Amino acid sequence: MKQEISFILNGEETKAEVEPHWTLLHLLREVIGLKGTKEGCGYGECGACTVIIDGKAVNSCIFPAVEAEGRRVTTIEGLLSKDGSLHPLQKAFIERGAVQCGFCSPGMIMSACALLAENAQPTEEEIKEGIEGNLCRCTGYVQIIEAIKAASGR
Amino acid sequence: MELTAVGKRIPKKDAPAKVTGSAVYIQDLVLPGMLYGKILYSRYPHARIKSIDTSRAEKLPGVRAVLTGATIPPFKFGVYKDNPPLKKDKVCSIRDEVAAVAATDPETAEEALDLITVKYEELPGLFDPIEAMKEGAPLIHEDHVGGKEKKPTNVLNMPWRLITGDVEAAKKEAAFVVQGSYATQWVTHCCLGTSGCIAELDTSNNLTMYSNTQIPYLAQRDFIDALGAFGMKGRRARIVQSVIGGGFGSKLDTYAYEYIAILLAMAVRRPVKIVFTREEEFLATSPRQCTITRISHGCGKDGRLLFREMEMILDNGAYTSWGATTPSVMMLPISSLYKVPNVKYTAKCVYTNNTYSQAMRGYGNPQATFAIESSIEELAEAAGFDPYEFRLINANEPGELTPQKFMITTCGMKECMSEVKKRLGWGGKRREKAGRGFGMASLVHVGGGARVYKSDGCGTIIKVDDYGKVDVFTGSSDIGEGSETIIAQIVAEVLSVPTDDVNVINNDTDVCPWDVGVHASRTTFVAGNSALGAAMKIKEQILEAAGQALSEDPSGLELSRGLIWARHDKEKNIAFGKVLRNIHYMSGGKMLMAEYFYDPPNENFDREFKGNLSVTYAYGAHGVEVEVDKETGRVKIINYVAAHDVGKAINPMLLEGQISGGGVMGLGYALSEKMDFRNGRLMNANYLDYKLLTAKDIPPMQAVIVETDEKDGPFGAKGIGEPGLVPTAPAIANAIYDAVGVRIKDLPITPEKVLAALKAKEKEGGPA
Amino acid sequence: MVRFEYFKPAAVSEALDIMRRFDNDAAYIAGGTDVMVLLRQKKLSVRALISLRNIRELSSLDGRFIGAGVTHRELQKDEHVRKRFSALHDAVCNLGSTQIRNVATVGGNICNAAPSADTACPLLVLDAEGLVEGPGGQRQIAIDDLFLGPGKTALAKGEILRGFRMPEFGETTGSAYIKHTRRNAMDLPILGIAVRVTVNKSDLPCRDLFCGAATASEILAAAGGDGLKCEDVRIAMGVVAPRPIRAKKAEAMLSGKAVTADAVAAAAEMSASESSPRDSVRGEAWYRREMVKVLVQRAFVKSIDRIVRPDGEVYPDRLW
């Protein structure tokens, strides 16, 4: 039986009817239609599905949709400003070659975003810890780490 | 002349869509009326199918079609045509497809699979290729015959054999000879975006495949063959590529699931989407070819290599794909990595009940180079040479014709090796701490296309619109590495327009010209030259039209930054846009359009596997400093240097991305990645137990670009897609030997193997 | 098809009520990082999920009590945990990934009772006492009595773990947890070793030896002469038995003895003999047994290091 939940999605009051067994990822992609968040594994092992919930990076593929009730959820689509300009992280990822196939990029950027919100000037070790739960097969992480450093102003 | 686009660190054109989540991957694509397909896989690695009951599945609400091997037309795909998309009488591996369902949503399709009852009669499984080669071994494919006598056998009719010079004579002459056995494991691409497709038939049964393929035109041909077999001969097949979530060779062949999607679409008369789960991706895509190698190397007292002999056994798995052809690429380092006048190489591919392999970045080169570059250090040690000096003595050089008839044009091998030595501090601070060591390895790979098919060509069509915006239609595909951007840079350079004004269309076979595919690191070289050729033609047309407008001889005109002017009088000029509009807004108007098909002047192998496969060859060297924890066997990478001869860096930023990405993939290959098959079953079909490196695992890495300016490459460039992980494993194995005196000869180099080797060495009385 | 109802009680009593209503055919879910995976793998089939995520009384964290609902991330950032329960700090720093730690709870980690649960060995050596509540009321259970086998705890069906009462440890007690993995993030341990040591004195002239780059036994040998005595010790091992276990014979060997390289090495050998590792997909038995010997010594040295250099942490030149 569906439950109605109400939460803040990318800054907007949002209502949705969710089945108890739905993951937040399913709700975002298949019901609400925000396809930016990706499913890489479905088990919380790759981070492609990372969104920010109440300021913390979370794997949405293993987060029950019903638990979004009353929370603030931000997806990759929420990083663009109202006037369409890119978030500093998005700019940095583009400019530093941190995007190849791009499948890991939304989740990677959200993890980086959560990190920088909590720690504005992370060291390289802290950056690595911030994205340790995000797998990338294309870049070898090097340019991703550089991009996050650049976005942090270091 | 100062370059304005080529050589610049220009961001990838598709990056903005990707970082905002608006790029459309196959996972994101939805077509009206679309149904979802799911596949039921075999329960056993080797069994007869006694019966399949699909009645309960068919009755499940939401299920629209259920197919089995018995209900589809007879058809086999693959390079050996031994692979039916749904297996009928027999299953030969745990990834065999037994049934398929199309339903209104993925969950219903999944539930329907559970309602299909398959009765099997289990058969004894063969999981060791050496066992499978023996007389009297059970046959994987009962009707397969081979050898001169055409006897039933599990050994494929692909007798790979390369002989240059006279190895037997060289053996007698050699002052030092070493022998060794090496083995490499199955590893898999692990693309973050799993495989998938949507098959759609129109009312005339023309097929559109929304696909992630790396070989749109070859896949098109495969699907047309399939349509013919399915009763739809003469129909069209169109491939539309969605944004790919990773390639690395995983999409270099067609897969059963694609034919299944077509069959389901036929059955339901609606588009059918199949997307793999992560477990399916591990289980049912084809990994890197594993190898068992015996190698022997010999040299003279002066350190010059005299011969190299290699024998390989390849576990071909249950069906045949490109894994069986990797020896053709392995021949490249085997015959031509360093100067070695006498070479003998044989390889056998053997059917087993394991998974089957296809292409993965390097296509056999990493496997062969692991054996070669490890063995060569054993030889250097036996002959009393420092490993670096030994390599220098035997290094390849520009202008060399190798015994396999590769014409080496530019060759940055020595420069790359020198960079490695310098940046690692090799020879200077060796072993400042117990447990630390240095190691290196070199590589050679094709860098100017590779004529593995009869064609190595790529077509480009360019048109320019009334506003100076350029559209480039290329047959090549972008698999994430940025070839789209490279092509734009090349065209932008020739036409002197901003890269942003060049739009590249590369994903629709109805619109784009022909290309043989994204493989062999050929795209920058071949597609780049193709785009360059078409751009030059367009430039000619523009100058001709401008010449008419200005009443000037076109050869006296300059084109730059949106303006065309007469060299002798800058006042005589016309804006780019105006020239273009003038061309068709007149009587007898013309269009500005050019096409160019570039097929590189390389050769197919002759019957002896000799011939100049590529126009130019890419070289490189990797060096590493490791620290081995002697109590646990864990290996830490202290420093890593990857130097690559790339001809010319068209986009240094993207190039560094290839080197870093390849390097980290190589580290995984060397140290931690392995598909753990036990009795034909995959034990680690997930991201937790299959050990990809995380951000916390990467060492300090230096990517070094060496430019040798290859005259036949576009602006001097050669390929880089694959070289990045070719020498990683042997460099690390060599460094571990330097550090603690043990040589691990089978990958991955796990802590267990290192510790076991250290303990064995201690027992023998060697110093720790 | 996995179908269930989902409840979000605000109090433990409410959660227990729902469980009783479903006659125990329900499962508790906190952070969900284990339960959601089990559901997806179809290894869990229940009529209801009862979420503990929003029950505030389970999230208390102070020097003497760790609520079951406290996330690993909260533990990671807590200063008291870092200083006084260092082994637990080590465990939560390297558990899963940042995303996992943000939602996964220590209670969930323990109740899921995987032999590889990272918080298990630290809590074992820290003498944690579980506080459990069920339909019959509350009861205490020592952590050592909590683990019964792979995936099995001494919790009765429907009981909820409220949290752990922790002892008070002083300046002469230190602990460490070493998780032996193949990669540096998102990994389960090949094996895990936790040690807690209480010694007779915390100021040692040779304190800097403990962060040196030598092997554990070399460090202990060099530090041996200074009259350091082990007053109390706990050694716990994970993934080398069907449940996380203490090496009690090894503990008895060291308790009350002088800290020397030989004594610690002997205790490490004894620990290895008390373990019963298996060959599994994740590691080989012989290797696990060898690593017990090595890691017990290393964890011991790290524990002492935390006593003698409470503010020092980084070992740039050392591999462990």
Task: For residue C96, list chain A residues with Cβ-Cβ distance below 8 A.
Answer: 44, 133
Strand, helix or coil for residue A129: helix
Phi-psi region of B625 (alpha: psi -120 to 50; beta: other; left: phi over 0): beta
Amino acid at position A144, single letter: I
What is the spatial order of strands in the sheet that B117-122 belongs to? Answer: B90-91, B47-53, B117-122
Q: Distance (Å) from the C-alpha of residue B215 to the closest C-alpha of chain C?
A: 34
DSSP state of B341: S
| Strand C152-153 relative to strand C65-67, pairing | unpaired
In this prediction, residue B584 carries a pLDDT of 82
Instruction: Give B-chain residues touching A41 at CB under 8 angstroms.
Output: 278, 686-687
User: Is A19 in the B-facing interface, judged by CB distances under 8 Å?
Assistant: no
pLDDT for position C96:
96
User: Cβ distance B255 to B359 under 8 Å?
Assistant: no
- Percent of chain B predicted with pLDDT > 70: 99
The secondary element (H helix, E strand) that includes residue B66 is strand B63-68
Could you report the per-residue pLDDT of B152-200, keeping only the tens digit for each? Answer: 999 999 989 999 999 999 999 999 999 999 999 999 999 999 999 999 9
- A133/C contact by beta carbon, under 8 A: yes
Question: Is B282:B675 a contact under the CB 8 Å cutoff?
Answer: yes
Give the CA distances from residue B67 to residues A97, B254, B710, in Å, rounded to whole numbers and listed in that order: 45, 19, 53
CA distances to B413, C218, C219, C220 from C261, in Å:
51, 7, 8, 5
The answer to whether A8 and A15 are in contact (CB under 8 A) is no
Residue C276 contacts residue C156 (beta carbons within 8 Å): no
Of A107, A133, A131, nearest to A119 by C-alpha is A131
Does C156 have pLDDT greater than 80? yes
Residues of chain B with CATH 3.90.1170.50: 31-123+194-244+251-284
Domains and CATH numbers, chain A: 3-76 (3.10.20.30), 88-152 (1.10.150.120)
The answer to whether residue A129 neighbours chain B at the CB level (below 8 Å) is yes
DSSP label at residue B501: G
Determine the angle formed by the axes of helices A142-152 and A88-95, rounding to 10 degrees. 140
Q: Residue C51: CA atoms inside 13 Å, Cβ hemisphere, count?
A: 25
For tokens 């193709």, the residue is B530
From chain A, the residues in CB contact with C186 under 8 A are 45, 132-133, 135
Which H or E element spans position B625? Answer: strand B617-628
Which has the minimum average pLDDT: B483-497, C109-123, C302-316? C302-316
Mean pLDDT taken over chain B: 95
Q: Distance (Å) from the C-alpha of residue A130 to the closest C-alpha of chain C? A: 6
Mean of pLDDT values over B688-694: 97
Bridge partners of C71?
C105
Q: What is the largest CA-CA distance in chain C?
A: 66
pLDDT given at position B396: 97
CA distance C16 to C32: 18
- Give contacts of B634 with chain C, Cβ < 8 Å: 319
Q: Mean pLDDT score of chain A, rounded to an integer?
A: 97
Which range has the worst mean pLDDT, B205-209, B572-576, B617-621?
B572-576
Which residues lie across from B707 on neighbouring strands?
Answer: none
Q: Is the pLDDT of residue B768 over 60?
A: no
Distance CA B194, CA B278 (A): 7
Please identify among residues 161-180 of chain C the ones whose CB lies closer than 8 Å to any CB of chain B: 180
Q: Which of A22-31, B185-194, B431-440, C249-258 has the lowest mean pLDDT?
A: B431-440
* Sequence-separated (6 or more) residues with CB below 8 Å from residue B555: B543
Give A-chain residues touching B660 at CB under 8 angstroms: 139-143
In three-state form (DSSP H/G/I as H, E/B as E, the rest C), the secondary structure along C138-164 is EEEEEHHHHEEECCEECCCCCCEEEEE
Establish if C170 touches chain A: CB-CB under 8 angstroms: no
B174/chain C closest Cα distance in angstroms: 41
**Sheet of strand C160-165: strand arrangement:** C61-62, C65-67, C160-165, C129-134, C137-142
Burial status of residue C225 (CB atoms within 10 A of its CB: 0-12, 13-18, 19 or more): exposed
- Going by pLDDT thresholds of 50, 70 and 90, the confidence category of residue B591 is confident
**The model's pTM:** 0.97
Residue C314: per-residue pLDDT: 65
CA proximity to A143, closest of A114, A113, A107, A108: A108
Phi-psi region of B133 (alpha: psi -120 to 50; beta: other; left: phi over 0): alpha
Contact B360, B248 (CB under 8 A): yes
Residues of chain B with CATH 3.30.365.10: 15-21+457-598, 291-451+606-764
* Of residues C8, C37, C103, nearest to A58 (C-beta): C103
The pLDDT value recorded for residue C2 is 64
Spatial strand order of the sheet with A3-9 comes to A12-18, A3-9, A72-74, A50-53, A56-59
State the pLDDT at residue B767: 56
Supply the ipTM of this predicted assembly: 0.98
> Dihedral (C-alpha) B648, B654, B660, B664: value to the nearest 10 degrees?
-120
Q: What angle do CA A44, A46, A51 make, to 5 degrees?
A: 70
pLDDT at C287: 98
| pLDDT in the model for residue C1 | 57
Residue C183 CB contacts under 8 Å (≥ 6 apart), including other chains? B672, B691, B692, B693, B694, B696, B697
- Kindly state the average pLDDT of the residues A104-130: 98
pLDDT at B395 over 60: yes
Q: Two tokens at C99?
A: 């995303």
pLDDT of amino acid B429: 53
Tracing tokens 């008895």 back to the chain, one arrives at C252
**B455: exposed, middle or buried (Cβ count in 10 Å: 0-12, 13-18, 19+):** middle
CB contact under 8 A, C184 and B632: no
Residue A58 pLDDT grade (very low, low, confident, very high; cuts 50, 70, 90):
very high
Which of A19, A53, A67 to substitute to test the interface with C, most C CBs within 10 Å?
A67
Which of helix, strand or coil describes residue B726? coil
Does the beta-carbon distance from C98 to A130 stay under 8 Å?
A: yes
Q: What is the DSSP letter of B248?
A: T
- In this predicted structure, which of B85-89, B426-430, C21-25 has the lowest mean pLDDT? B426-430
CB contact under 8 A, C97 and A64: no
Say how many CB pairs under 8 Å bridge A and C.
82
Cα(A63)–Cα(A25) distance, integer angstroms: 8
The helix/strand/coil state of A62 is helix
Asked if residues C76 and C89 have their Cβ atoms less than 8 Å apart, the reply is yes
Crossing angle of helices C86-93 and C285-308, in 10° steps, is: 130
Smallest Cβ–Cβ distance between C281 and the set B634, B636, B689 belongs to: B689
**Scanning every residue of chain A, which has its alpha carbon at the shortest distance from the alpha carbon of B660?**
A140
Q: If you average pLDDT over residues B30-59, what whole number do you get?
A: 98
Residues facing residue C165 across a β-bridge = C65, C129
Per-residue pLDDT of A61-95, as tens digits, reads 999 999 999 999 999 999 999 999 999 999 999 99
pLDDT tens digits, one per residue of B302-320 = 999 999 999 999 999 999 9
| Three-state secondary structure of chain C | CCCCEEECCCCHHHHHHHHHHCCCCEEEECCCCCHHHHHHCCCCCCCEEEECCCCHHHCCEECCEEECCCEHHHHHHCHHHHHHCHHHHHHHHCCCCHHHHHHCEHHHHHHHCCCCCCCHHHHHHCCCEEEEEECCEEEEEEHHHHEEECCEECCCCCCEEEEEECCCCCCCEEEEEEEECCCCCCCCCCEEEEEEEEECCCCCCCHHHHHCCCCHHHHHHHHHHHCCEEEEEEEEEECCCCCCEECHHHHHHHCCCECCHHHHHHHHHHHHHHCCCCCECCECHHHHHHHHHHHHHHHHHHHHHHHHCCCCCCCCCCCC
Give A15→chain B minimum CA distance, Å.
22
pLDDT (0 to 100) of residue C209: 86
B291-451+606-764 classified as CATH 3.30.365.10: yes
What homologous superfamily is domain B31-123+194-244+251-284 in, according to CATH? Aldehyde oxidase/xanthine dehydrogenase, a/b hammerhead (3.90.1170.50)
Q: Calculate mean pLDDT across residues B274-289.
A: 98
Q: Which residues of B touch C215 (CB under 8 A)?
A: 631
Contacts of C187 in chain B (CB under 8 A): 688, 691
For B678, nearest residue in chain C (alpha carbons): C281
Contact C53 A67 (CB under 8 A): yes
Question: What's the CATH number for B15-21+457-598?
Answer: 3.30.365.10
The confidence score (pLDDT) of residue B588 equals 84
Identify whether the C-beta of residue B87 lies closer than 8 Å to the C-beta of residue B98.
Answer: yes
Whether residue C183 lies within 8 A of chain A, CB to CB, comes out as no
Dist. CA A85–CA A91, nearest whole Å: 9
Residue A120 has a pLDDT of 97
Distance from the C23 Cα atom to the nearest Cα atom in chain B, whole angstroms: 27
Answer whether B719's CB lies under 8 Å from B446's CB. yes
Beta bridge partners of C150: none
Q: What pLDDT band is residue C225 in, cutting at 50, 70 and 90? A: low
For residue C299, what are the CA distances in angstroms to B350, B627, B631, C218, C288?
49, 21, 14, 14, 15
- Per CB-CB distance under 8 Å, the chain B contacts of A96 are 653
- Give mean pLDDT, residues B217-235: 96
pLDDT in tens, C50-65: 999 999 999 999 999 9
Tell me what percent of chain A is helix, strand and coil, each rounded to the nearest 5.
Answer: 40, 20, 45
Q: What is the pLDDT of residue B390?
A: 98
pLDDT value of position B592: 87
Helix (H, G, I), strand (E, B) or coil at B191: coil
Q: Mean per-residue pLDDT for B343-349?
A: 98
